[in-house]
Amino acid sequence: MSQTLLLPRWLLTMKAGEDTLEYHALLIDGERIAAVGPRETLLTQYPQAARVELPEQILIPGLINAHAHSAMTLLRGVADDVPLMDWLQNHIWPLEKKWVSEEWTYLGSKLAAAEGLRSGTTYINDMYFFPTAMARAAVDSGVRAAVSMNVIDFPTSYASGPDDYIAKGIAAYEQYKGEKLLDWTSAPHAPYTVSDETFIKLRDLAEKLDIQMHCHIHETAGEVEDGLKQFGVRPLERLTKLGLMNERMIAVHMVHLNNDEIELMAKNGVHLVHNPNSNLKLASGVMPLKTLEAAGVNTVLGTDGAASNNRLDMFGEIRSAALLAKGITGDPTVASARTALEMATVRAAKAMGRSDDLGSLEVGKLADCVAVSLDSIECQPVYNAAAQLVYVAGREHVSNVWIGGRQVLRERQPVTIDVPALMADVRDVVGRMKAP
């Protein structure tokens, strides 16, 4: 197998208890990390390895976007500045009904993959219809993805009802089973779109296939109030009674929580996805990160879709998570730079059930690496390279990306995607969508 030495100025492994290393190197052997150590030591030990010099750059683990709707990049900006349910019912769902298809989903997912690569994102926990399209887009782009077997209780252009969604999801899973870039999730959309019966079927499916679950929960105050009216209990209590709230559950948004619910999440090992920018834009609220951290809940980060956030920018989420938590609590020690970075790396790997392979740059793990240049005017001077990633650097400073040892972004240009052809296809589809 080919060996490559990455030679950055700084190396942030995200290994527990390890600070930023300076003048260290990382050896890629095939698809995995074979060595991490002082630069001169590794240069001497592996003289035949190809060398990639990364001067004034910091090498970090690939960022994990723990919640996205990749295909919805094709709906970026179609309905800004409106409340969530208005946004969904009067704008998004009608457009989806008219336009969403296998090829539409593939194109939007590929656009999201390209944006993600230029943002240092190497893994996307996706949620949408047409899972075969999501899977194809990820594999063709060389990006890791958790593909959803997405289910809602009403018909769409994709499926006629819950059993049809599930059958098509299982068929896609069987088709792509064993593809090393892909994981799968059992994905009920939300408590307000999924019945108890369907939730139970998806719970059993997750257990049978030994995969994670992925669901929007407690996103708005209105969702909680409506759940109380319809079921007599808050949505989280309902889902707990159905046996869903455990270490398989990746619970997205989780903005409106009381102390009992937070304690329950900690006790049951539920993973919570914070989507700060999407929740701010839709005025849904802010996840109570300080209280969750104190309780020991595994909190991670996601962008949500480009139709609600407009940017699939994990650097933006990392910075917003750190600043929001400080601002709403009046405590500048909450959500340190290290914590914010953990939410997009090691903690997210845990949420996806991939701690053994992903989330940190350690020997034996998959070589998902991102180089970020700190050599620009905006990023100088550098006193603390890790903090610079959170409070200063942005996605525009991502220079190179490797996934499973394969370089997929070189000097900000995707290696695996024909960008001019992709953009031509996007303009063609969007032109038809805009046509009267």
Omega before residue 47 within 30° of 0, cis: no
> 187 pairs with which residues across the strands?
150
- The C-alpha torsion from 238 through 240 and 245 to 251, rounded to 10°, is 20
Q: How far, in Å, CA of 276 to CA of 424, rounded?
A: 32
Q: Residue 188: is the preceding peptide bond cis (ω within 30°)?
A: no
Which residue type does 138 have?
A
Tracing tokens 């949500």 back to the chain, one arrives at: 304
Q: Phi and psi of 431, rounded to 5°?
A: -60, -40
23: phi then psi, degrees, rounded to nearest 5: 55, 45
pLDDT tens per residue across span 89-106: 999 889 988 999 999 999
Averaged over successive runs of 10 residues, the pLDDT of the chain (436 residues) comes to: 93 97 98 98 97 98 98 94 87 90 97 98 98 98 98 93 97 97 98 97 98 97 96 97 98 98 98 97 95 97 95 98 96 96 98 98 98 97 97 98 98 97 97 87
Whole-angstrom Cα distance, residue 435 to residue 10?
50
Asked if residue 22 lies in contact with residue 4, where contact means CB atoms within 8 angstroms, the answer is no
Looking at residue 349, its amino acid is: A
At residue 87, the pLDDT reads 85
How far apart CA 423 and CA 117 sit, in angstroms, is: 15
Residue 69 burial class via C-beta count within 10 angstroms: exposed 0-12, middle 13-18, buried 19 and up = buried
pLDDT digit string (tens) for 378-412?
Answer: 999 999 999 999 999 999 999 999 999 999 999 99
Residues 6 or more apart whose CB falls under 8 angstroms from that of 112 comprise 68, 70, 71, 73, 124, 137, 306, 312
* Calculated CA dihedral for residues 416, 73, 63, 268, nearest 10 degrees: -130
Residue 15: per-residue pLDDT: 97
The CB density around residue 357, as the number of other CB atoms within 10 Å, is: 17
CA dist., res. 84 & res. 224, Å (int): 14
Q: Residue 147: beta bridge partners? A: 184
* Beta strands per DSSP E along 17-119: 21-22, 24-29, 32-38, 50-61, 63-68
SS3 at position 138: helix
Give the up-direction half-sphere exposure of residue 282: CA atoms within 13 A in the CB hemisphere: 28
What dihedral angle (degrees, nearest 10) is formed by the CA atoms of 269, 403, 304, 329?
60
At 1 the pLDDT is: 62
Spell 246-281 as b/e; 16+ CB within 10 A means b: eebbbbbbbbbbeeebbebbbeeebbbbbbbbbbeb
This prediction has a pTM of 0.97
Confidence at residue 376, expressed as pLDDT on a 0 to 100 scale: 95
CB-side exposure of 299: number of CA atoms within 13 Å? 27
Question: Taking a C-beta distance cutoff of 8 angstroms, is the pair 303, 313 a contact?
Answer: yes
**Which residues does residue 11 pair with via DSSP β-bridges, in sequence order?**
21, 59
First to last CA, the chain: 55
Q: Report the distance separating Cα 57 and Cα 321, nearest Å.
A: 24
Burial (0-12, 13-18, 19+ Cβ within 10 Å), 106:
buried
Per-residue pLDDT reduced to its tens digit, 216-226: 999 999 999 99
Query: What confidence score (pLDDT) does residue 168 get?
Result: 98
Secondary structure (3-state) at 366:
strand
Tell me 90's DSSP state. I
Burial class (CB in 10 A: 0-12, 13-18, 19+), 16: exposed
The one-letter amino acid code at 286 reads V
- CB of 124 closer than 8 Å to CB of 165: no
